[in-house]
Amino acid sequence: MPGLAAAFGSGGGAAALLALVATGATGTAAAQAPASAAPVSAASAASTGSAPSTASAAATGAAASAAVPAPNQDGTFAVGLQVDADGIAEVLPGGVAGDVARGRATVASRQVGLCLLCHTGPFPEEPFQGSLAPDLAGAGQRSTAAQLRLRIADASRLNPDTIMPSYFRTQGLERVATAYRDKPILTAQQIEDVVAFLQTLKDPPAAERSR
């Protein structure tokens, strides 16, 4: 997809994202689709002669009660990453509390985050913002830090058909270019920075304020 690459740059994160977008006929959703999105249930485990661990069963039950898939046991996330209900409460492994200024730069960047490819937001200096996804204005009012962290790290946990890239996921994906295998689109620290920035966006979109 040379046109997109030229338009949005060739930085590491952008190249990884564009590689994922370019590999499937149905776009990012196909490239990011998990090999097995459904959590292992006790019934299915019994039919295959295996049993889920106590921790896995507990996680599955807790997530099911919130109508959110439990974490797969296939290396989808780094070891130790805990998904609770519809969010990730703890800072991602390898990251520390986010920096707002760096987060804004990542979101606005056409070479790193590429967020404005699909989203619009309070970035008056950036032309040609997207309209495929929700306005980022008010994101900090609509969602908690934990919810934002999960949606950035792996939005397919909440909607398997989403076109939102899984920025921290490295396993269970299909048709990923060899150069980008086992590499997240954004690092843990970059995601924490983006979460910190989005949390500052409390004002709703202008269209909602004018109603």
Joined together, the tokens standing for residue 23 give 């590999």
Q: Which amino acid belongs to residue 14? A: A
Query: Residue 170: which pLDDT band, with cuts at 50, 70 and 90?
Result: confident
Joined together, the tokens standing for residue 108 give 């606005």
| In the chain, domain spans | 2-37+72-209
Joined together, the tokens standing for residue 62 give 């807790």
Query: Residue 15: which pLDDT band, with cuts at 50, 70 and 90?
Result: very low
* pTM for the model: 0.62
Pick the CATH number of 2-37+72-209 from 2.60.40.10, 1.10.760.10, 1.10.3720.10, 1.50.10.10: 1.10.760.10
Q: Which residues contact 12 (CB under 8 A, 6 or more apart)?
A: 112
Buried b (16+ CB within 10 A) or exposed e, 167-180: bbbbebbeebeeeb
Task: Please write the tens of the pLDDT for every residue from 91-124.
Answer: 998 889 999 999 999 999 988 999 999 999 999 9
Q: What is the mean pLDDT of residues 18-47?
A: 40
Query: Residue 191: which pLDDT band, with cuts at 50, 70 and 90?
Result: very high
Buried b (16+ CB within 10 A) or exposed e, 18-40: bbbbbbeeeebbebbbbeeeebb
